[in-house]
Structure 1
């Protein structure tokens, strides 16, 4: 599915809630990383829904994209982030979450098992970019 005006609106709603697009980086000509900075407490009554829509929009921006959620502050990962993954309804996205030096994928320290499992469940497989290790890793 292509990026549409609905996706532009999703990104704007995220920005208004305090979820910012940090960057869209081309890693190699065939792969990009879209990083969203997630505050501890977004300024919205529906943070999980706003984030889920921004994740989908980020994934549709370019083909073969890793969507990276960079959580501000220390562990634990805020509950709205976990809830946003549930709201994706198994939308297939190469997703990685980083918080306080840990991530949902190896190498390096891992976030808690339940969050790592949630992320794996939405993964279509293949390669994704690990922003801490600065290397490509298997999505599943």
Structure 2
């Protein structure tokens, strides 16, 4: 499915809630990195749904994207982020979450097993770009 006005609306609503697009970087001819900056407390009644729609929209914007959810500030990953992954309901997307120096993928310190498993379930497989390590890594956690 191509990026449409529905996706544009989803991104506008995410932005209004404080979820911002940090960058879209072309890593190589087959990999792009789209980073969504996720505040600890978005200004939305249902931030999980809002983020899930923004993830899908970001993925449709450029084929072969890795969607990085970068949590602002220190501490654990806010619940709405894990909930947004569950709300993708079978929508396959390469996601990596970065929070307080840890991420969902090696190398480096790792986030919780539960969060890593949710990200793995959403993944279509293959390689994704690790924004901290600056290298391609397997999208599975095992």
- Same fold judged by TM-score > 0.5? yes
CA displacement, residues 11-66 of structure 1 (integer Å, 9 cap, x when unaligned) = 00000000000000000022101000000000010100000000000000011000
Q: Distance in 1 between matches of 2:37 and 2:64?
A: 20
Alignment of 1:55-94 (within 5 A): 55-94=55-94
Aligned partner of 1:97 in structure 2 is 97
Q: Distance in 1 between matches of 2:86 and 2:127?
A: 22
Query: How far off is 1:75 after superposition?
Result: 2.3
CA displacement, residues 52-89 of structure 1 (integer Å, 9 cap, x when unaligned) = 00000000001100000000111210000011011101
Structure 1: state its 5+ residue gaps: none
Alignment of 1:129-140 (within 5 A): 129-140=129-140
Q: Distance in 1 between matches of 2:26 and 2:64?
A: 10
Aligned partner of 1:107 in structure 2 is 107
TM-score, scaled to structure 2: 0.97
Structure 1's consecutive aligned runs of 4 or more residues displaced over 6 angstroms after TM superposition are none
Aligned partner of 1:3 in structure 2 is 3
Structure 2: state its 5+ residue gaps: none
Q: Distance in 2 between matches of 1:5 and 1:96?
A: 26
TM-score, scaled to structure 1: 0.99
Q: CA RMSD in A?
A: 0.6
Q: Distance in 1 between matches of 2:105 and 2:130?
A: 7
